[in-house]
Amino acid sequence: MTDSSSSTSDSLESLRQRIDQLDSDILALISERARCAQQVASVKLTEDPSAVFYRPEREARVLRRVMELNDGPLSNEEMARLFREIMSSCLALEQPVRVAYLGPEGTFTEQAALKHFGGSAVPVPTNAIDEVFREVEAGATHYGVVPVENSSEGIVSHTLDSFMASPSLKINGEVVLRIHHHLLVSERTRRDQISRIYSHSQSLAQCRKWLDAHYPHAERVAVSSNAEAARLVKSEWHSAAIAGDMAAKRYELERVAEKIEDQPDNSTRFLIIGTHDVPPSGDDKTSIVAAMRNQPGALHDLLEPFHRHGIDMTRLESRPSHNGAWSYVFFIDFKGHGDDERVKAALAEASERTADLKVLGSYPVGVL
C-alpha cells in the first residue's frame, strides 16, 4: 500500500466517524423534537378535547423558515423535503392523519398527497373525485386531495362541481406537482406491435403531439386513471400505458420512453380539503365561488372591489350553475387571507353585488 492510498483510507475512516457522530446528534435532536410534538398534542387536547392536530399554517411557516435559514450545500427544496418528513413523523405521533385521494394506488394524486403530508400520512384511495369529498364530509378521513387544474389542459371541472355540492368543506392547502408522463409496457408486451395505448383522457391530451409523431396508428383508449391504464397493460401483450413514476413502480412496468409530455413544464395543482378553517400563515391565498345573474356588467361589478382594494387575482374560472338556466358561477383565487382587512372589505362589497358568494377557504400558498 502506498502512502497516499493509506492517507486516503485514513481520512475516509475519520470522515465516517464524524458522520457517525453527527448522525447520533441528529438522532437525539429528532427524538427531542418528536417529544416536543407529543407535548404540543397534550397542550392542544387540554385546550380543546376535539382539537385539530394538523396545522397547515404552522407547517408552512416551519418549511419556509428552514428554506430561509438554509445555506447549502443541500438545496432549499431538498432541505424542506427532509423537514417535511420529520414533521410528518411528528404529526403521526400526535395523530395518524388519514387522507382520501383520487385513486387507485399509483395516481399522481397519491403522489401529491404524499408530497404535501409526507410519508407518515395514511393514504386512502377512492374511485372518484366526489367520493373524496364524501369521505371527508362523513369524517371517514381527516383530509382529502383532489386535482384542480393542469397547466396545459385547464381546470378539472368535477372538482369545482363537487365544491358546489359540498358546502361545508374548506380548502386547507394547495400542492403543485410537476407531471412527467412515460410510455410504459410490461414484460409480456411485444414492443414492436403496440396497437393500443391506455391513459386518462387528460394525460392522452397532454402527450398528443408525441403520440401523433411516434404512435400515429395506435388506438388511444381513455380510462378512469393513469394507474388503471398501468394495471390493464399487465395482461395485454399489444398495449402500452401512459402514466407516471408511481404507477410504473406500483405495477412494475418498464419505461419505453420517458417524459413524453408535450409541454416540458407540465404541472398539476391539487387542493387539500378539510372541515376546518386555516389561520393566516403570512403568505396565503383565498378561493371563493360567486353565483351571478346573467346580466351585462355583472362580472365587472364582482371584480371591481378586488381591483380597488389592490388584491392580486391568480385565477378566474366560470362554470354553468346547476340551478337555473343562463346563470353562472365564478371560481376566483386571489392572494391574501380572509382575516386580512383588505380582503374582508373586498369580500363584503363583492357579496353585495352577487346572488351568492361563498369563501371556499384561505390557505397557505404551496411551499414544496
If the CB atoms of residues 63 and 246 are measured against ligand PRE, the closer one turns out to be 63
- Selected from 94, 135, 174, 261, the binder of ligand PRE by CB under 6 A is 94
- Residue for cell digits 395485454? 236
- 122: which strand partners? 98
**What phi and psi, each to the nearest 5 degrees, are found at residue 287?**
-115, 135
Other residues' Cβ atoms within 10 Å of the Cβ of residue 156: 21
Dist. CA 80–CA 340, nearest whole Å: 27
Closest to 242 measured CA to CA, from 272, 210, 217, 271: 210
Residue 344 binds ligand PRE, judged by CB under 6 A? no
Q: For the CB of residue 57, give the shortest distance to ligand PRE in the complex, in Å.
A: 9
Dist. CA 323–CA 355, nearest whole Å: 12
CA dihedral 53, 57, 62, 66 (to 10 degrees): 150
**What phi and psi, each to the nearest 5 degrees, are found at residue 98?**
-95, 130
Q: Among 141, 268, 286, 354, which one carries the catalytic annotation?
A: 268
If the CB atoms of residues 121 and 246 are measured against ligand PRE, the closer one turns out to be 121
Please give the residue whose beta carbon sits closest to ligand PRE in the complex.
90
3-state DSSP assignment of residue 351: helix
**Catalytic residue list contains 133:** no
- Residue for cell digits 409523431? 213
If the CB atoms of residues 86 and 242 are measured against ligand PRE, the closer one turns out to be 86
In the window 34-93, what residues touch ligand PRE (CB under 6 A)? 37, 40, 53-55, 58-59, 62, 87, 90-91
Q: For the CB of residue 99, give the shortest distance to ligand PRE in the complex, in Å.
A: 13
If the CB atoms of residues 63 and 129 are measured against ligand PRE, the closer one turns out to be 63
Q: Among 133, 270, 330, 331, which one carries the catalytic annotation?
A: 270
**Catalytic residue list contains 268:** yes
Residues that bind ligand PRE (CB under 6 A): 37, 40, 53-55, 58-59, 62, 87, 90-91, 94
Please identify every residue annotated as catalytic.
Answer: 268, 270
